[in-house]
Structure 1
Amino acid sequence: MITVRDIATYVVNLPRRQDRRAWIHASLPDDLTVTYTSDFDRSFDGRHLALADLEADGIELFDWQIDSSNPWWNRPLKFGEIGCTLAHLACWSHAADHTDQPYVLVLEDDAVLGTAFTENLLHGLNRLRQEAAPFELLYLGRYPLEPDRQAAVPGFVVPGYSHCSYAYLFTRTALATLLAVGLRQAIVPVDEFLPALYVPHPREDLRTRFPPQLTALAFDPPLVTQRPKEVAGSDTEDSGFIDTSAHSGA
């Protein structure tokens, strides 16, 4: 039987956004032990990141901007996107070094948890175990961009290409994969990185750099939604574009 003690929980949050920390803290179930990235001794704030500091830390950027009708691809990365990816990566690294629970839950600080969140999460995980339904990555909420497929277990789907990483859970097998694929040497938005690991990414360059290697499922309906940007703002988008001429790419 899977219990809440089997889940290590992380919340992506910036030190200057104590308002968002207080908001999500008030909505988190008391039985979850939570680690906040705002307590880590490093900065993920896109307002304060600089290419020189990233390079000094051994971080390399993927050659992101391409000619495309997709406006998210036909522009440079923003420092906030880089910082967000690094914050998620820090959660994975911390979980590998400091926890031994079989599951790791990652929430962003604008996640809206549904009613009876813990009960529904544990019920779903135990159903997947009872049905022997394999998964390594489990979306609790997301924005689908391509069609899903029906999963063998009711209440879940096999996700197609999706965006948004405000609520997901993964196994320790997935944790090893997330840390082994070399994301630090080819930083891309985490919203693009996660789907690349379970479906062929629509961008050939990303599909080649990060081929599918995880089994993914998603709650349907989702257990978690996201606060509207007009209400909570966006720390990812509220930052400057990188100067792509300042580095040679990955």
Structure 2
Amino acid sequence: MNVASLLLLLLLVGRRLQAAVVTESTLPTVVLAILARNAEHSLPHYLGALERLDYPRARLALWCATDHNVDNTTEMLQEWLAAVGRDYAAVVWKPEEEARPYPDEQSPKHWTKERHQFLMELKQEALTFARAWGADYILFSDTDNILTNNQTLRLLTERQLPVVAPMLDSQTYYSNFWCGITPQGYYRRTAEYFPTKNRQRQGCFRVPMVHSTFLVSLKTEETAQLAFYPPHPNYTWPFDDIIVFAYACQAAGVSMYVCNDHRFGYMNVAVKPDQGLEEEKTNFIHLILEALVDGPPMMASDHVSRPLKKPSKMGFDEVFVISLARRPQRRARMLSSLWEMEISAQVVDAVDGRTLNSSILKHLGVDLLPGYQDPYTGRTLTKGEVGCFLSHYSIWEEVVVRGLARVVVFEDDVRFKDNFRRRLEQMMEDVVTQKLSWDLIYLGRKQVSPEEEVAVEGLPGLVVAGYSHWTLAYTLSLAGARKLLATQPLQRMLPVDEFLPVMFDQHPNDQYKAHFWPRDLQAFSAQPLLASPTHYAGDSEWLSDTETSSLWDDDSGRLISWTGSQKTLPGPHLPLASSSGHSLHPHPTDEL
């Protein structure tokens, strides 16, 4: 390149950089209002999301207040502001150092009239500051609302709407908008809510209520009339900050909107008034797990010190995770999920069916169960299914060799139900109390048998297992492992999730059962289940190394997708679900 060409290139680059600077400097100014109370469990992820917003910090101001804390919220915010505050155009910090409850407060999550009023006064103070500072917008966002989409501010300000909320996902159908409101200011069910929440219709829609996270324009005459406190002179609706503001918008002729054409982030499901911070923390952990599955994941700030995790095996002798080495993302997600729940686990490298050939199988003593056919496609065993069986088999062997009294076995495609750890611990405590003799307990499965399963007396969370598919999560006793190994199943192999029902004598195929004796495995199942697959066949993210595989005796290396198999579809006893794990037949109160 000659000197003239180099100078021309530098000139063009310089012009582009100058244009980029001008564009960034003309972006609207926004005040981020951070009102935190007892938010230690969610604050690191909340602040991490704010840090990652793709928006110049020179165009942002922080207005932060915290009060009535009984946890480490104030210290966390101070630490964060000390690390990043200098990057923002302005910072307002209003801590209340003294830890104290509100009058008549029954718990830290109980909303009294005094608490509502104090919150409204704080929001009004933030709104007043934003107007005085000359901001174009103010963003209110609760500290358990995590904006994982780093384009959120740009997308919302580009709409140039007076009041607009990014629709947030949760563990249920609860979200940060209403589609209907009664003349008295209460929630009203409408036909539009679920299609909006499900994104069956997408766009920005006018609604009577947005809350928790929303952006307010400060540059119109109409929005200049908006206030949180004191309420409008004609206000007679419930004394609640979100309803007060919705009424103020209605009185000023300001429209509220919710946008759902992007995935903006997540919000935690509110706990009941009589519940405490521990329940709220449990809910938020489940939200983290859901985000790990559905993506994008929540990422905590590096500038905040978090309480140390203390992982354990939950009273089991070992927790195993079967995972293919060539699926690092699935392994990482699974280990992150267990870490969040403070569960320590041993990773077992799964036997990769793609590496198997006839000579290896012969050396291992593997042979097909005579007459076995997939119940849906009629095909024989796949190499992926052989690898899956060998992976579980290696754990059963380890249980016996090490003399492990009871273990948990996970595959790496598990979606955990809410409060998984405590529910499992409680179930096992009840099993011990009732002196139940057991070999295997399904934590997640597909119930295939249409018959109603028998409840276990004295254990309302357990049923006697019928014919079931899937081995994504189960507990196993030492006695159970010995029974499984004693039948020498490698010599007459069928898929592991068909073998287990044979062993507890619930498989419908008598010819299969005739090859194994005794069939006295004592098998039960959690009811309701504590785990499900991350994805089902038909979901965009669905992946199966057992269903996408060559047949067990085919050494050609071809990969065949056995899409005709219905094993990886939800069972008839499961509610039809979306890819995010939410039922598409919601309960009438799910949105509240």
TM-score under structure 1 length normalisation: 0.86
Say if 1:110 and 1:232, in contact at 8 Å, map to a contact too.
no
- Structure 1 range deviating more: 44-53 or 23-32: 23-32
TM-superposition CA deviations, 1:190-218 (whole Å, max 9, x none): 01011111124211221111242111111
Residue identity in the other structure for 2:546: T
1:164 aligns with 2:470: yes
Matches within 5 A, 1:126-137: 126-137=429-440
| Structure 1 residues 243 and 60, CA gap change in structure 2 (3 angstroms) | closer
Contact 2:396-2:481 within 8 A present in 1 as well: yes
Decide which moves more: 160-169 or 5-14.
5-14
Counterpart of 1:227 (choices 526, 534, 540) is: 534
Query: 5 Å matches for 1:73-84?
Result: 74-84=378-388
Aligned counterparts of 1:221 and 1:96: Cα–Cα separation in 2: 30
Q: Is the 8 A contact 2:357 2:553 kept in 1?
A: no
Note if contact 2:322-2:348 (Cα within 8 Å) is conserved in structure 1.
yes
Deviation for aligned residue 1:64:
4.2
Asked if 1:26 is matched to 2:336, the reply is: yes
Aligned to 1:203: 509
> Could you tell me how far 1:31 is from its partner in structure 2?
4.1
- Listed as ranges, the matches of 1:95-106 within 5 Å are 95-98=399-402, 100-106=403-409
8 Å CA contact 1:200–1:207 kept in 2: the answer is no
Shift of 1:54: 0.8
Q: Distance in 2 between matches of 1:197 and 1:60?
A: 18
Query: C-alpha separation between the residues in 2 aligned to 1:52 and 1:63?
Result: 19
Q: Which residue of 1 aligns with 2:376?
A: 71
Partner of 2:424: 121
Which structure's relative contact order is higher, taking Cα pairs within 8 Å and 6+ residues apart? 1
Aligned residue identity for 2:512: L
1:72-110 per-position Cα deviation (integer Å, ceiling 9, x unaligned) = 4x2111110111001110111122224x44211111100
Residue number in structure 1 paired with 2:552: 242
Residue number in structure 2 paired with 1:10: 320
Q: Is this contact kept in 1: 2:504–2:520, CA < 8 A?
A: yes
1:100-158 alpha-carbon deviations (Å, 9 max, x no partner): 44211111100112222221111101111111222111010110111222221111111
Contact 1:64-1:188 within 8 A present in 2 as well: no
Task: Output the CA distance in 2 between the equivalents of 1:184 and 1:101.
Answer: 22
Rounded to whole Å, the distance in 1 between the matches of 2:388 and 2:316 is 26
Match of 2:581 in 1: none
What secondary structure does 1:4 align onto? coil
**Residue among 50, 53, 62 paired with 2:360:** 53
What one-letter code is carried by the residue in structure 2 that aligns with 1:226? P
For 1:116-195, what aligned pairs fall within 5 Å after superposition?
116-146=419-449, 147=451, 148-152=453-457, 153-195=459-501
What percent identity do the matched residue pairs reach?
30
Unaligned runs of 5+ in 2: 1-312, 555-592
SS of residue matched to 1:202: coil
Q: Which residue identity does 1:21 align to in structure 2?
A: R
Q: 1:64 to 1:33 in 2, by over 3 A?
A: farther
- TM-score, normalised on structure 2? 0.38
1:136–1:170 Cα contact (<8 Å) kept = yes
C-alpha root-mean-square deviation of aligned residues, in Å?
1.9
For 1:91, the equivalent position in structure 2 comes to 395
Q: Which residue is equivalent to 2:520? A: 213
Partner SS state of residue 355, structure 2: coil
The higher radius of gyration belongs to: 2
Find 1:112's aligned residue among 415, 423, 435. Answer: 415
Task: Give the CA deviation at 1:27.
Answer: 0.6
Taking the aligned partners of 2:546 and 2:435, their CA distance within structure 1 comes to 37
Aligned partners of 1:210, 1:138: CA distance in 2, in Å?
20
Distance (whole Å) between structure 1 residues aligned to residue 469 and residue 346 of structure 2? 24
Paired residue secondary structure (1:140): strand
